[in-house]
Amino acid sequence: GESVGLHLPTLSVQEGDNSIINCAYSNSASDYFIWYKQESGKGPQFIIDIRSNMDKRQGQRVTVLLNKTVKHLSLQIAATQPGDSAVYFCAEAPLSFGAGTTVTVRA
Amino acid sequence: KAGVTQTPRYLIKTRGQQVTLSCSPISGHRSVSWYQQTPGQGLQFLFEYFSETQRNKGNFPGRFSGRQFSNSRSEMNVSTLELGDSALYLCASSIGLTVSGNTIYFGEGSWLTVV
């Protein structure tokens, strides 16, 4: 079946550096992707989304890039802060989620 | 406006019992979907309801069921609980069906422990 996956289960980042979290998807027909952040003990929180007619979308300190040619999605977090420590999921609408990348920010 | 609300937040049940979890979607949202999250399996889709009808269903046994009310509130039920049902159960709501590309917003989840 179709699946969405993240390249790395963990990512350690120095505070202030930029973070890049990657995700590969397999359904070439997918046209909507979402990134979620889940902090310990909480539900997933919507961060940013992107539709297949776009290559890039920017939010506050976050940028999502979509490469449909290689079916790859990435989330870039600028100037990573301790509060960014969480598990990050990519989701392929509808309803397929990656396993998550745990981001740890080092002080 | 208020987010997705799930109750109860924490509960402990004994193997063989049944449990009902409740979800109130964001005001105006008509779709409610349910997910099971475990450390080993990640987020897995259970089912989605829209206008009181189940529209999509994941690959879970019939012990897992749900329903949606006319006010869009939803409940899910797990009967004959097994130890492996211990998980975080997440409810999410969206304006319309998720298959239509509507963003889903999650609640904080209900932590179920089966002993």
For B78-101, the pLDDT digits (tens) are: 999 999 999 999 999 999 887 777
Nearest to A31 among B56, B101, B104 (CB): B101
Closest to B20 in 3D by CA, of B107, B82, B112: B112
- B101 → closest Cβ in A32, A43, A44: A32
Chain A neighbors of B106, CB-CB under 8 A: 36, 43-46
Average pLDDT in chain A = 89
Q: Rg of chain A over CA atoms, in angstroms?
A: 13
Maximum alpha-carbon separation in chain A? 41
Per-residue pLDDT, A5: 59
Looking at the partner chain, which of A43, A45, A93 has a beta carbon nearest the beta carbon of B98? A93
Preferred mutation among A47, A95, A96, A102 to probe B, highest tally of B CBs within 10 A: A95
The Cα–Cα gap between B46 and B21 comes to: 13
In DSSP notation, A54-66 reads: -SEEE-SSEEEEE
pLDDT for A100? 87
